[in-house]
Amino acid sequence: MPFDLPEDVIEETFLASTGPGGQNVNKVATACQLRVDVFALGLAPYAFRQLKELAGSKMTIGGELIVTARSHRTREANRQEARERVVELLDRAHIRQARRVATRPSKAAKARRVDAKKGRSAIKKNRGKVSFD
């Protein structure tokens, strides 16, 4: 189920874009920059930590997630892409990571490892200069 993005936490601005559009790029601000107030979303602590990790430099210290979409020619297409990217990030942040259970090697596994090391050591010890005495 995709994350529901409330409109009151989104701030949308349109910028002059680069990329496809020819002369139109110089005249029309089609790139969409979304700013999402992450604190206002009320995410669970694990989801917030995961979102910070996933977003990287897209997340500001003030808790704003900034996503810029400029790959399309129209404002509407860029707006839609930016929203989809934010929702996808939030969905990925809500996936819980499985807890890692620390394990120890068994006594037999330790013994096998030591035996293997001794075998390699013996092989290497037998290498060396050949004497013709």
CATH of the domain at 75: 3.30.160.20
Residue 21 forms part of a structural domain: yes
pLDDT over threshold 60, residue 1: no
30 within 8 A of 61, measured Cβ to Cβ: no
If you average pLDDT over residues 28-48, what whole number do you get?
A: 88
Report pLDDT digits (tens) over 89-114.
999 998 988 888 999 999 999 999 99
Q: Is residue 58 part of a domain?
A: yes
Q: Give a yes or no: residue 115 inside a domain.
A: no
| Cα–Cα nearest to 48, from 36, 60, 56, 39 | 39
> What is the reported pLDDT for 2?
65
> What is the DSSP code string of 51-83?
HHHHHGGGB-TTSEEEEEE-SSSSHHHHHHHHH
Q: How many domains does the chain have?
A: 1
Q: Does residue 74 fall inside a structural domain?
A: yes
Domain boundaries, position 40: 7-93
